[in-house]
Structure formats: C-alpha cells, structure tokens
C-alpha cells in the first residue's frame, strides 16, 4: 500500500512536467513549430554563438536548452580522420579509419543514378556512425579547364549529368540524418587565385552551365546545407554574396537550409550579416594555416556581430533568420527521432565502393582487342609505374583520408592473377616525395635524386621479356597535380611519363596504359598504344576494381564525364585566352560553350569525346521514333529506339539523348545532353529505350528577359553512345 502511494505521488509530481514538455523537444510537432519555440527561448548571446565555429570542425549548440553542437566532416569521398580541437594535426584516434570511396569523377563516369544513391547512402551511414551531422560535399562545380586541381572532386563538364547524379547522392546521405553540404557555390572553376579571383560571366552562362546542378541539389535533392566558394562574383566573395545567396539561393530557389562558409572564406562582418551567410568556419588567419589559436570569439559573425546587435546597429530579425536555419538543421539531423545508427568501415561499404569503381572505369581504346587479358594465355605480366603502388587516398587537400585499407593496382592485379602467372613490377618513373601533414611532428623528407633515365631503362628492358605490359600512371594528389589549392601547369603527364610510355610500347606492342587521374591528360602516344583505360581515384577497392576490368570479370561500362581534348588550346577556356585571368579578374569568354559545346562549335575533334566509353561487347542502335511530329509547350514528347547487345558478353550501354535547336534568336550549342539511360543487356538481348522530352529540355536562358524560353521551331533529338558518336536522330517541331 505504501509502495503504491509513493508511486502515485511520484506520478502526480511528474505529470505536470510531462505536460509542460517544450514544443521544440516534441519530435512529433511540426518542424517550424519546434524552430519557433526554440528560437523564442534563446538569448541574444546563444543565438550569435550558433553562427560560428568553436573548433576546427564544430559549432556550438545551446546546452541550457539541450540543443546539441553541429559537427562537420570533410568529404565527399570518405569521412575524414579526427583532428585536434584547435589544430589541423590528426588526433591519432585508433577507430577513425574510414572506407575510402571513389572520387566523384569516377561516380559521374558511371552515368548511373543508382550508383549515386548507393554512394550517398553508404557514405551517409559512415558519417552518421561517427556522429557527424553535416557532410561537406558533394561538389558540383563545372569542369571548365582540365588544369583545375580540384576537378577530381566534381562531376564533370555537363550541367545535366551533374544534376542527375547529385540528387540521389544527397537523398542517400540525408536519409541517415546527415546533411549534405553541396559545394562550392558558385563559379569555383580554378584553384589558382581561388581566394580572391573575381569571375566575370554572362547571366546566360551562369544559369545554363554553372547553376543547374546546385539548383537541382536544392529543389530536387532537398539539400539541407550549401557551402560558399572562395572566389568572388560581382566583386563580392561568394561566401557572403548578396546575389548568389539572398537572391538566387534563398529567394528564387526557396532554400530553407544553412549557407555555410568555406573555411577561411569570410572577409567582412557587415557583408556576412546582410548577404545571406548563416554559419562561419575557419576564419582564424585564413582557416587553413597550421598552428592553433582560440580565435573563435573574434570571428566576423561572433563578438563583432554581437556588439552591432547590442548597439542597435544590426536588426535582430536578420539574426533570427540565420538561427532558424541552423535550428532546422539540428532538428533534421541530430535531434531527429528517426535517425538511424549508421555503420562504419564495413565490408558492405567496401563492396559498394568497389561496385561504383567498376561501373565508373572507362575503356578509352582497345585496338586489337588486347583487353580483356586472358590469363590462360599469359606467363609473365609486367606492371610499370609509380601509380601502381602509390597511396591515392591521402593527399589532394581536404579530401585526404585515413583509409582503413587501400588495395593498390599492383596488389589487385597480383591477387587476381594468382600463382598461375608471374607478375613482376618495376617503378619506371618517380614523383618527388610529398609531406603528409595529417600527423603531428611529421618532418619533410630529405630531397632525393631521381634518375629518370635509369628508371626508364630498367622498365623498357623488363618490358621486352613480358607477354603484356600494364603501365599504371597518370596524375597523383601532389600539389600541382590533382590537389586542392593549386592547378596543373600543363596538360601533359608529369614525371617524364610520356617518354616512358613511348619507349615501352616500342619494346612491347602489347602495352596497356592505365591513367589514374581526375583530369584529362594529353596522349602524344595514343596512336601507338593499343589499349587505354581511365581508372580515376577509386578509393579503398581501387586495385580490385581495376583488375576485374582488365581481366574481364567486369565488362567496362563507364563513360567520360568530360572531354579529353587533343591539345590544351582546344579547350574553350584556353582557346579564348581567359584562364587563369590577370590575378584579379577572370572573364569567361567561352560563355555557354563549355566542354563538348566548344569543340562542336569550333569543329574540333576531341582526343576522346564527352560520353565516350567502350565495352567488351558490341551494341547496335535501331532507328529512333518520335511519338508525334509536333508538340506544344504544354506537351511532352516520347522518343523510343531499340538497343541490342550484339556481342557475346553481357554488358551495359549508356544511351545518350542530345537536343539540337539550330535556329534560335540567341546562339545555341550544336547539341546539349538532355537525357541518358544506362541499359544492362545480356548477350543477344534487345530492349526498347524510352526518353521523354519536356519543355525544359528545349529551353535556353534569355538574359535580356531574365527567363527560360523555348522558341517555336524545328528541333532534333540526337541519340548516340557519346557526344561525337550519334547513332540515330529524329526531327520534331515545337509549335
């Protein structure tokens, strides 16, 4: 009886407490009600504190109200190792080794939105397990020049392809209660002078080329965060750019998430207040330097902002809008009751990375059917090249990873060949050693002398004794190659690789060249080498994925997400003489004619075209048929065609739809990608591929009118296996 009385008394005391649970803590309440309830409970100091970092990768919550901190992690290829609270050195944890996923160029080369969804879901699970609620990625800046050191983090040269691939990536990440922070908004198309270069570009090019993937990320992907770029546009830094953040992102696109600065990308308190920035990170010095200083209270959106608010010089309602956005982020992520637990470093994630890598590898050339290699006919395989053994998950800037493991190309080849075939390795060329700066106390290695001639001679002599030579080269993530903060100096391969390849193929005609990179490279030896493979930076399972393609376990189905020009001056940014600008401004004279659009206009033959990629089987395209010959603006048009696997191997083909509008009031590209389907076909199988063309696919941006328009007239739907290999076409009229 006494026990029941005590329980009843406790219940009587607790019941009012339960009845008074704040709305912001009620996960069943509407999101905006929770946001408003939390906002009205916060002090001015608590609001301002949420706007800026408290450590290298975190920002404060509101402990008094039980609102947690925000924790960011660099991406988008894996969850970065923990760093010390106030330093860039690694924290030396023993349980933060991630699965390294392929670079985003490899994902884009798969031309498969299902792979983007798998990628996002997998990396989102890794971020969630590590209790990160913001993943700093993916990147969707357009590939304008092959010299951009950060192209490997992006999704190629075409806005339609990038848009189609970024949406499922974002959705996959965010289903884990982790915000995708899409970057770098906008026009960050070179690393040289990136912290201040002012981009001068037409409104038409801005809206047709450089913004569509960001718009898709917001309006279709539902991204919860966007990161500003370092560069300037309209003479304002993009991290606090009135036009980009206030007018385009928040007003026109209806973005209700958080605008985050890149680390060190903020330069002015008043501009940050007025021009749409919500969260500031990395401002101490430039946010990138080594060393430590507790400078967080001196950030532009910290004490300087608070003083303006207290003196009445700043409007608190502007502050409230910023805080609302951050609260939405918290309620969508860390305080979401449906947030799963995630998983980290699992075999399932490794398998996902391998599958993405296998679908993204591109067979560029295969004369004499040198590939796939038949191990039953081999006695000796020679592997040549530093990239066969060099770790590619480290370096490159903020995407550098502490991977749980990394299978090198040499290890993958050796494992697949087994004991039946002798696999030997010689280096052939060597790059200067680079310091790995993730470990405190790391010392720069002493300079070493590289005898390129001796290395080359050794490789050539070995090549004469092998049945086949696998040269594994390309770029790497050293500064000046594929690396944040610097651009490449030239289109040619570094470290005298071109000389080595030319000598190898003379010594052994059965030489296969594998290019590991995130950029196009020149190939002066292309006519002599029978087989060429683009293998990208493919993460933890890179070696196994490459071996699977080389030995025919996987039929390659990747397609290039950007053009390989034969010469640097064939690229629009360089032909127009724009790149890299004069140190203060860079003018985009190539305008809307980026990538294949430029080569089409100038009638220049590429080395390898956008969308190009071969298979170990053969595909036949039938005649395209339009559902009707005339449509109105309110209609959609269906175009169908049969595609058959006419070879003896199962395989996949990416069928690409381009639209041509030859007569318009403004100049238009010869053709533009407006659809693609990746079709998996068994040997001998035929399928009907269907495309739906809507009004948007026919439209262009009229900068004089400030609107998208589709002009009546005749159009063509062009369908092919690349931008340079159109198989069938059909005309129709927009009335």
User: d(Cα 386, Cα 431) in Å, to the nearest integer?
Assistant: 8
Q: How does residue 546 score in pLDDT terms, banded at 50, 70 and 90?
A: very high
Over range 111-117, report the average pLDDT.
Answer: 98
Q: How does residue 420 score in pLDDT terms, banded at 50, 70 and 90?
A: confident
Q: How does residue 17 score in pLDDT terms, banded at 50, 70 and 90?
A: very low
Sign of the torsion angle spanned by Cα atoms 273, 275, 276, 278:
negative
Over range 673-681, report the average pLDDT.
Answer: 98
Please answer whether residues 541 and 357 qualify as being in contact, where contact means their C-beta atoms are separated by less than 8 angstroms.
yes
Look at strands 70-74 and 58-59 and give their pairing.
antiparallel
The DSSP secondary structure of 78-125, one letter per residue, reads SPPPPB-TTSSSB---SS-PBPPPPPHHHHHHTT-HHHHHHHHHHHHH
Q: How does residue 288 score in pLDDT terms, banded at 50, 70 and 90?
A: very low
- Fold adopted by 353-435+448-561: Rossmann fold (3.40.50)
What percent of the chain is modeled with pLDDT above 70? 94
With 0-12 CB in 10 A as exposed, 13-18 as middle and 19+ as buried, what is 242? middle
Looking at the predicted structure, is the pLDDT value of residue 444 above 60?
A: no
Give residue 20's Cα distance to chain centre: 46
pLDDT at 89: 86
Look at strands 468-474 and 380-384 and give their pairing.
parallel
User: d(Cα 317, Cα 315) in Å, to the nearest integer?
Assistant: 5
- Which tokens in the block code for residue 517? 């990179």
pLDDT at 8: 52
DSSP state, residue 54: S
Sign of the torsion angle spanned by Cα atoms 225, 229, 230, 235:
negative
Residue 467 to residues 219, 471, 548, 571: CA-CA distances in angstroms?
Answer: 54, 13, 19, 38
User: d(Cα 654, Cα 721) in Å, to the nearest integer?
Assistant: 7
Distinct helix (H) and strand (E) counts, the chain: 18, 27
Residue with tokens 């560069």: 231
Going from N- to C-terminal start, the domains of the chain cover 27-332, 353-435+448-561, 619-734
Which of 113, 129, 215 has the alpha carbon at shortest distance from 171?
Answer: 113
Tell me the three state secondary structure of residue 658.
strand
Looking at the predicted structure, is the pLDDT value of residue 290 above 50?
A: no
Which of 67, 510, 90, 542 has the alpha carbon at shortest distance from 328?
Answer: 67
Q: Which of 262, 438, 503, 591 is the catalytic position?
A: 262
Tell me the three state secondary structure of residue 188.
coil
pLDDT at 2: 54
pLDDT at 298: 87
**Digit-coded pLDDT (tens) for 548-602:** 999 999 999 999 999 999 999 999 999 988 999 999 999 999 999 999 999 999 9
Please answer whether residues 133 and 260 qualify as being in contact, where contact means their C-beta atoms are separated by less than 8 angstroms.
no
Residues contacting 376, CB < 8 A, separation 6+: none
Residue 64 to residues 41, 68, 203, 336, 569: CA-CA distances in angstroms?
Answer: 10, 10, 47, 19, 60
Tell me the whole-structure pTM to 2 decimals: 0.95
Residue 474 to residues 42, 471, 599, 606, 678: CA-CA distances in angstroms?
Answer: 54, 9, 24, 19, 28
User: d(Cα 553, Cα 510) in Å, to the nearest integer?
Assistant: 20
Tell me the three state secondary structure of residue 590.
coil
- Which tokens in the block code for residue 534? 């683009």
User: d(Cα 120, Cα 449) in Å, to the nearest integer?
Assistant: 43
Q: How does residue 447 score in pLDDT terms, banded at 50, 70 and 90?
A: low
- Fold adopted by 619-734: Immunoglobulin-like (2.60.40)
Please report, in angstroms and rounded to a whole number, the separation of the first and last CA atoms in the chain. 86
Which of 168, 199, 167 has the alpha carbon at shortest distance from 584?
Answer: 199
pLDDT at 347: 98
Residues contacting 264, CB < 8 A, separation 6+: 195, 230, 282, 283, 285, 286, 287, 288
Range scoring the smallest mean pLDDT among 20-24, 287-291, 467-471:
287-291
**Mean residue pLDDT across the chain:** 94
Please answer whether residues 334 and 68 qualify as being in contact, where contact means their C-beta atoms are separated by less than 8 angstroms.
yes
- Which tokens in the block code for residue 418? 């087994």
Please answer whether residues 482 and 153 qualify as being in contact, where contact means their C-beta atoms are separated by less than 8 angstroms.
no
Over range 259-280, report the average pLDDT.
Answer: 97
Tell me the three state secondary structure of residue 411.
helix
- Fold adopted by 27-332: TIM Barrel (3.20.20)
pLDDT at 4: 59
**Peptide bond before 288: cis, by omega within 30 degrees of 0?**
no
Please answer whether residues 354 and 546 qualify as being in contact, where contact means their C-beta atoms are separated by less than 8 angstroms.
no
Strand residues in 622-685 grouped as ranges (E): 625-626, 630-631, 637-645, 651-660, 672-681
User: d(Cα 419, Cα 487) in Å, to the nearest integer?
Assistant: 42
3-class SS letters over 293-322: CCCHHHCCCCHHHHHHHHCCCCCHHHHHHH
pLDDT at 19: 52
pLDDT at 662: 83
3-class SS letters over 341-368: CCCCCCHHHHHHHHHHHHHHCEEEEEHH
Over range 163-182, report the average pLDDT.
Answer: 98
Which of 14, 38, 18 has the alpha carbon at shortest distance from 335?
Answer: 38
The crossing angle, in degrees rounded to 10, of helices 212-219 and 159-174 is 30
Helix segments in 465-607, DSSP class H: 497-507, 542-550, 572-575, 596-602
pLDDT at 23: 96
Annotation says 553 is catalytic: no
Looking at the predicted structure, is the pLDDT value of residue 15 above 70?
A: no
Round the CA-based radius of gyration of the chain to a whole number and report it. Answer: 27
Tell me the three state secondary structure of residue 443.
coil
Which of 454, 472, 471, 546 has the alpha carbon at shortest distance from 510?
Answer: 471
Looking at the predicted structure, is the pLDDT value of residue 688 above 50?
A: yes
Residues contacting 289, CB < 8 A, separation 6+: none
User: d(Cα 468, Cα 382) in Å, to the nearest integer?
Assistant: 6
pLDDT at 284: 65
- Which tokens in the block code for residue 53? 């970092």
- Which tokens in the block code for residue 199? 């981009």
Residue with tokens 């209806």: 254
What are the backbone angles phi and psi of residue 269, rounded to the nearest 5°?
Answer: -65, -50
Please answer whether residues 134 and 73 qualify as being in contact, where contact means their C-beta atoms are separated by less than 8 angstroms.
yes
Q: 146-158 as b/e, with b when 16 or more CB fall inside 10 Å? A: bbbbbbbbbbbbb
Which of 106, 108, 157, 150 has the alpha carbon at shortest distance from 606?
Answer: 157
């Amino acid at each position: 009886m006494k026990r029941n009385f005590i329980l009843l008394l406790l219940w009587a005391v607790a019941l009012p407490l339960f009845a008074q649970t704040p709305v912001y803590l009620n996960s069943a309440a509407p999101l905006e009600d929770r946001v408003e309830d939390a906002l009205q409970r916060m002090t001015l100091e608590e609001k301002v504190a949420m706007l800026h970092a408290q450590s290298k990768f975190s920002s404060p919550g509101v402990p008094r109200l039980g609102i947690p901190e925000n924790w960011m992690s660099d991406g988008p290829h894996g969850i970065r190792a923990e760093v010390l609270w106030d330093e860039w050195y690694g924290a030396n944890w023993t349980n933060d080794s991630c699965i390294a996923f392929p670079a985003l160029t490899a994902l884009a080369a798969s031309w498969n939105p299902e792979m983007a969804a798998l990628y996002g879901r997998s990396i989102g699970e890794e971020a969630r397990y590590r209790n990160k609620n913001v993943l700093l990625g993916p990147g969707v800046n357009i590939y304008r020049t092959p010299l951009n050191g950060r192209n490997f983090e992006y999704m190629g040269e075409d806005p339609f392809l990038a848009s189609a691939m970024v949406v499922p990536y974002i959705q996959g990440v965010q289903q884990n209660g982790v915000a995708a922070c899409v970057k770098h908004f906008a026009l960050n198309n070179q690393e040289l002078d990136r912290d201040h270069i002012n981009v001068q570009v037409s409104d038409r090019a801005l809206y047709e080329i450089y913004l569509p993937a960001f718009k898709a990320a917001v309006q279709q992907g539902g991204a919860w965060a966007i990161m500003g770029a370092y560069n300037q546009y309209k003479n304002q830094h993009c991290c606090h750019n009135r036009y980009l953040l206030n007018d385009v992102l928040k007003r026109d696109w209806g973005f209700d998430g958080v605008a985050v600065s890149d680390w060190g990308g903020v330069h002015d308190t008043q501009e940050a207040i007025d021009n749409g920035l919500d969260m500031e990170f990395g401002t101490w010095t430039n946010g990138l330097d080594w060393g430590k200083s507790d400078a967080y209270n001196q950030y532009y959106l910290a004490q300087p902002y608070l003083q303006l608010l207290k003196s009445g010089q700043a409007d608190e309602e502007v502050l409230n809008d910023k805080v609302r956005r951050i609260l939405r982020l918290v309620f969508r992520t860390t305080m979401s009751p449906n947030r799963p637990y995630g998983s980290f470093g699992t075999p399932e994630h490794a398998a996902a990375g391998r599958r993405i890598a296998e679908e993204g590898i591109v067979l560029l050339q295969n004369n004499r059917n040198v590939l796939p290699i038949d191990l039953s006919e081999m006695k000796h395989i020679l592997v040549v090249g530093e990239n066969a053994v060099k770790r590619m998950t480290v370096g490159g800037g903020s995407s550098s990873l502490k991977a749980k493991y990394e299978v090198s190309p040499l290890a993958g080849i050796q494992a697949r060949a087994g004991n039946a075939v002798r696999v030997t390795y010689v280096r052939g060329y060597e790059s200067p050693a680079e310091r790995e700066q993730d470990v405190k106390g790391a010392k720069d290695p002493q300079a070493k002398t590289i005898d390129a001639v001796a290395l080359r001679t050794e490789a050539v002599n070995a090549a004469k004794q092998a049945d086949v030579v696998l040269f594994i080269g390309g770029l790497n993530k050293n500064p000046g190659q594929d690396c944040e903060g610097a651009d490449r100096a030239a289109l040619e391969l570094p470290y005298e690789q071109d000389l080595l390849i030319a000598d190898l193929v003379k010594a052994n005609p059965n030489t296969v060249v594998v290019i590991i990179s995130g950029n196009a490279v020149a190939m002066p030896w292309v006519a002599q080498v029978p087989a060429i493979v683009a293998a990208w930076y493919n993460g933890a399972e890179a070696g196994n994925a490459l071996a699977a393609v080389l030995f025919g376990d996987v039929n390659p189905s990747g397609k290039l997400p950007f053009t390989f020009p034969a010469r640097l001056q064939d690229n629009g940014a360089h032909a127009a003489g724009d790149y890299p600008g004069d140190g203060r401004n860079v003018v985009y004279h190539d305008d809307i004619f980026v990538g294949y659009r430029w080569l089409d206009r100038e009638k220049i033959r590429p080395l390898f075209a956008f969308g190009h990629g071969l298979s170990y089987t053969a595909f036949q395209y039938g005649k395209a048929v339009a559902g009707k010959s005339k449509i109105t603006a309110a209609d959609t048009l269906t175009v169908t065609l049969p595609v058959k696997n006419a070879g003896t191997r199962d395989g996949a083909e990416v069928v690409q739809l381009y639209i041509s509008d030859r007569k318009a009031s403004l100049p238009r590209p010869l053709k533009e990608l407006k659809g693609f389907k990746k079709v998996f076909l068994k040997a001998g199988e035929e399928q009907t591929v269907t495309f739906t063309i809507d009004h948007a696919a026919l439209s262009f941006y009229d900068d004089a009118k400030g609107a998208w328009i589709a002009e009546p007239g005749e159009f063509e739907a062009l369908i092919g296996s690349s931008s340079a290999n159109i198989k069938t076409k059909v005309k129709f009229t927009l009335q």
